[in-house]
Structure 1
């Protein structure tokens, strides 16, 4: 007697596979039975923006690897073609569905439309020949090209080998066909002219998030369109926003932010070079009640001086401040930095803080971290110098709530500098992830042992040092939850020392990955590396990576 799953149980299972981004299982379900097909494909296309088939996915990492990119053998070429063909088929099915030429309306399942990815496909050098010809069916050729000639009541394609317009033009035409139908879209990533964006968002009532390459795309009353047609809009990411004389990014951003419904924007993120200033910061104030994630870059000192005008942001949980325009470090500068520190400290919901080349970052954080009420769970500071940062390192001890800490920059070989940092870190007993990239280059093995003795909850650790050998493993054997250990320090480990360390790991270390990146000789033979890898796999389902210092020996890497 056959067993039939109840519809609601089936839907729950497939939705779980979708939540886990298990694209392969969803596809297998779709082709295994007609009973599964419709819902499997619906879930699959809802998460297709995260598929490994796409250009940025994991499936094509092999042929994108620089060391293999120029190895033009048959097997690699087949891998490339296979991945690009799947990538093209994904976009073809979405586009054809918008034209009513597919079994199911795949466009209606979309929740996130990444037109940047379509653009990447069209410009990929491997998107050529048979793959390109197969992609452009007659239906897609018709919307991608205007190179047709009339004959009676029919439209005939002239002698034509593919879309003659640029890839960007083809992307816009295909994108327009999709957007006109896919009203279920909640998020978009795209690089389109401002008039196109304003037109498209007018037909997307469920739109919540938007990623654009240039702030220019928001210049043609996009804010008003979002306000009137997208009541749930709340997330904005911009890669760059620059002046276009006589128009300024400052004026465009101010106008856009003012056009939005007040206190609706939850995420405002600037990623790359931008030229926003004081007026832009003031305009953000119209969303001070709703902002929960704020990421700013390229600010001038005048723009930075306006941050305190936002007053305490009650919902702010994530703050990223990076790569400001250099300014003279005079009395006014430090007055502003102190005021910004107080402003950050007034945002009592703040949990994640990232700073990189913003102002005098150690000075800023030495003031911020000691303010009563600041309770961070994640802190990242990069590109700073350990020398002269003692006050910041001492202030770290005030953040007992930290679970993730990333510090990177110029190390010091002053024993006092290193001891101050170790002493502060050893008081952060709730840490799960600790990344000391470069900043710990001056650590001795004693520093490593003193540090980890008080961090029993560590799950991931990146730690360097002056020179490490088997002795340093004593620092890691009492970390019952450690899952990843990366040692980029110059080192000389033996197979017996590593195997002894592995033997002391327990069930809490399941999946453990050990990466030794800068061994100074070839003490570990390939046979020893393989034994270590197999032991980790057998005991903990783990892996092992090993690298020789360049120039010291050829060695081997990535045996796990």
Structure 2
């Protein structure tokens, strides 16, 4: 993403939108209202400039028009009263579009309810007046009406990217031809969802209608009914696609074999939204074809399988393929005890900088833990290591071993049991450590934490220490936690998060009432 100019209209002068994604509840209410007021003024300035109502033509320098951010602003609870009235005053009164409010009754008399903004119509109207003046615009983001894109595309010769909330924005059948004709730099497409049935054909038509070998980035983050036709169409961009991120239903997983022409990919993230199909066991022919395709992706650097049953079966042949040198690997939903071969194969990827493994450790034995520990310990370039669930039976010695071998770690998430203060000394030697999460049955002491903090360096500035599931019999008192937090903040500007273990069978309220 580009850095964000006020109103999430991106340029070189920027601030991250305080509205996007919802308000920050840690900020005082009065401060939140001030932030929203300033943000509304900035959006108003952009819109007013397109109406030639400002001295400076702000809209001419917009590179990203994030209409989703405008939607967040208009729907924010603090966008009301004077803030709303000022926003829609003067020339911007034309954008004050409301839904017809249903009347309520008091007795037999109808009482009109307060008008609600028609946010969809407002954002469409804003896009309509802004886009004729945004000749430098490279990206449109948000929930866009199907009729809008055909109008706007012809005005945007520099458009590179569409980041759409809803696939229904692609409903116009000639949209892909308009993009191919008017947007020679278009190379990025992202979609959140596409509700309904029968979207596979429309999606494939859109992809095939773009200039061949022009897409570089293709991402679908939720259910868009991707199937055989879409996968085949992506082959039209097989030598240009650098990043593919897909969320699919389990029934569509065998169609991944049809992506065999997409061998230039560097980033590949795949998610099974249902988590019910084991390709290896149920569709073995498709499984073998998928593996053959992946082994031919010699440029692959970032590989992620989310919610895939049998993820390790797919991952193992990739790890041992000599032509592939991964820098990032993320797998979840697998059993540790059944996958010694997968863990042993990790050692074949010495350039890994990010490793995230999430799975079940039930039934693991000594050898399972040792193979995982030995392989991960050889990955000397690791900056980020996340072991979620797979390390549930790690002890002090396992954590110490990792800390002593992985000197470049910046971010560590690990589980385990019976973890005590003896892990802090080797962890303190990690001079680049900025974030550590220990989600384990722990018995840390105040003195142990203070000694760790004392050994931190300036390079650990801003470190966040998160301790979850602390042993209830050896908890730090509130006063001890406060002291640790104070010392940590003073030493390196760090933060401590500390949470005791709670019996999952006992509600938080029951636990409090028993005290």
State if a TM-score over 0.5 links the two structures: yes
Shift of 1:438: 2.5
Consecutive unaligned residues in structure 1, runs of 5 or more: 1-17, 28-40, 65-75, 148-159, 555-560
Task: After TM superposition, list the pairs within 5 Å mapping 1:369-448 onto structure 2.
Answer: 369-412=319-362, 413-448=364-399
* Conserved? CA contact 1:477–1:505, under 8 Å: yes
8 A contact 1:207–1:232 mirrored in 2: yes
Tell me: CA distance 1:269–1:309, structure 2 relative to 1, closer, same or farther (3 Å): closer
Match of 1:54 among 6, 15, 19: 19
Would you say the 8 A contact 2:187–2:215 is kept in 1? yes
CA–CA distance in 2 between the matches of 1:435 and 1:428? 13
State whether structure 2 residue 180 is matched by structure 1 residue 227. yes
SS at match of 1:227: helix
Q: Structure 2 matches for 1:86-97, cutoff 5 A?
A: 86-97=38-49
Other-structure match for 1:318:
267
1: CA distance between counterparts of 2:13 and 2:225? 34
Deviation at 1:87, TM superposition (A): 2.5
Please show how residues 481-492 of structure 1 align to structure 2 within 5 Å. 481-492=432-443
Of 126, 146, 149, the residue aligned with 1:174 is 126
Aligned pairs for 1:104-115 (under 5 A) are: 104-115=56-67
The 3-state SS of whatever aligns with 2:190 is strand
Measure, in 1, the Cα distance between the counterparts of 2:67 and 2:178.
20
Q: Describe the superposition over 1:151-207 as per-residue Cα deviations: whole angstroms up to 9, x where unpaired.
A: xxxxxxxxx999876221122112211112222211111212222111111111111
The CA deviation at 1:267 is 0.4
Change (3 A) 1:308 1:283: closer
2: CA distance between counterparts of 1:48 and 1:537?
30
Matched, 1:350 2:300: yes
Contact 1:407 1:435 in 2 (8 A): yes
**Tell me, which stretches of 5 or more residues in structure 2 are unaligned?**
100-111, 503-507
Q: Which residue of 1 aligns with 2:248?
A: 298
* 1:545-560 equivalences in 2 (<5 Å): 545-550=497-502
Q: Which residue of 2 aligns with 1:80?
A: 32
Counterpart of 2:489 in structure 1 is: 537
CA-CA distance at 1:384 after TM superposition: 2.6
Per-residue CA deviation, residues 244-296 of structure 1 (Å, 9 max, x unaligned), is 4xxx2111011101110111100000100121111111111111111000011
Q: 2:82 & 2:2 partners in 1: Cα distance?
A: 34
2:420 pairs with 1:469: yes
Give me the whole-angstrom Cα distance separating, in 2, the residues matched to 1:309 and 1:53: 39
Deviations 1:323-346 (A, max 9, x none): 155446676612322321221121
Distance 2:455 2:209 in 1: 61
TM-score with structure 2 length normalisation? 0.87
Which of 463, 484, 491 aligns to 1:512? It is: 463
Check if 1:367 corresponds to 2:317.
yes
In the alignment of these two chains, the number of paired residues is 490
TM-score by length of 1: 0.80
Give the Å deviation of 1:368.
1.7
Q: Is the 8 A contact 2:309 2:333 kept in 1?
A: no
What residue number does 1:129 align with? 81
Counterpart secondary structure, 1:174: helix
CA shift digits 1:352-371 (9 cap, x unpaired): 01111235211111222111
Q: CA deviation at 1:397?
A: 1.5
Which stretches of structure 1, 4 residues or more, deviate above 6 A after TM superposition? Answer: 18-21, 160-165
* Aligned pair partner of 1:183 in 125, 135, 139: 135
Q: CA RMSD in A?
A: 3.0
- Determine the C-alpha separation between the residues in 1 that align with 2:471 and 2:98: 62
Question: How has the CA–CA distance of structure 1 residues 229 and 144 changed in structure 2, closer, same or farther, with 3 Å as cutoff?
Answer: farther
- The answer on whether the counterparts of 2:239 and 2:262 sit within 8 Å (CA) in structure 1 is no
Q: Which residue of 1 aligns with 2:150?
A: 198
Offset at 1:449? 1.7
Secondary structure of 1:511's partner?
coil
Give the secondary structure class of the aligned counterpart of 2:151: helix
Contact 2:3-2:16 at 8 Å conserved across structures = no
Equivalent residue number for residue 215 of structure 2? 265
Change in Cα spacing, 1:219 to 1:44, as seen in structure 2 (3 Å) is: closer
Which stretch shifts more, 410-419 or 346-355?
410-419
Deviation of 1:94 (Å): 1.2
